[in-house]
């Protein structure tokens, strides 16, 4: 028995349209949108009477997905978006890009801001962290040579 693949990473957001636009700028495709509600959904998550708008975003290679969720009910109860990068729990999603400078500029049009700066790791990568819509943390990595 083994894992077949990692299917998606779930991210709870407060502005679904802005977050979709942000990830489209990054190069992901909107695979679909739906509203999820009903008794069955609450049995999966442990939240009764949930109503959630979701959008599934897919990388161009088709191997990775992000499930963006905006909870209508119940409302979000915790917010760790502004926690420092050494806080416990999931940190960020890292994306490989062709041109990190171009991507930072494009995402800046959607309000993204660098957390620190774009740095070079040896002769292998250029890397950075960005905060996007609602403070969402992502990483970008450009492989060199």
pLDDT per residue over 42-101, tens digit each?
888 888 888 999 999 999 999 999 999 999 998 888 777 777 778 877 778 999 999 999
- Take residue 59 and report the two structure tokens written for it: 């990388």
List 92's β-bridge partners, or say none. Answer: none
- Helices and strands (H and E) in the chain: how many: 3, 9
Residue 35 has pLDDT above 80, yes or no: yes
Residue 37 has pLDDT above 80, yes or no: yes
Residue 22 has pLDDT above 90, yes or no: yes
Give the whole-number percent of the chain exceeding pLDDT 70.
Answer: 100
CATH 3.10.180.10 in the chain is located at: 9-73, 93-143
55 SS3 class: strand
Burial class (CB in 10 A: 0-12, 13-18, 19+), 43: exposed
CATH number of 9-73: 3.10.180.10
Give me the mean pLDDT over the 12-36 stretch: 96
User: The domain 93-143 belongs to what CATH superfamily?
Assistant: 2,3-Dihydroxybiphenyl 1,2-Dioxygenase, domain 1 (3.10.180.10)
Sign of CA dihedral 119, 60, 21, 4: negative
Select the highest-mean-pLDDT range: 23-27, 71-75, 129-133. Answer: 23-27
DSSP letter assigned to residue 134: G
Residue 128 has pLDDT above 90, yes or no: yes
């Amino acid at each position: 028995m083994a894992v077949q693949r990692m299917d998606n990473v779930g991210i709870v957001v407060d502005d679904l349209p802005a977050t979709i636009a942000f990830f489209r700028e990054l190069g992901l495709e909107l695979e679909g949108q739906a509203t999820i509600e009903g008794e069955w959904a609450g049995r999966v998550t442990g939240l009764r009477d949930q109503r959630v708008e979701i959008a599934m975003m897919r990388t161009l290679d088709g191997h990775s997905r992000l499930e963006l969720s905006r909870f209508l009910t119940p409302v979000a109860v915790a917010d760790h978006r502004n926690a420092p990068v050494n806080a416990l729990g999931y940190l960020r999603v890292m994306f490989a890009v062709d041109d990190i400078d171009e991507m930072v500029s494009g995402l800046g049009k959607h309000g993204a801001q660098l957390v620190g700066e774009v740095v070079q790791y040896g002769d292998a990568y250029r890397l950075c962290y960005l905060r996007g819509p609602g403070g969402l943390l992502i990483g970008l990595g450009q492989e060199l040579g």
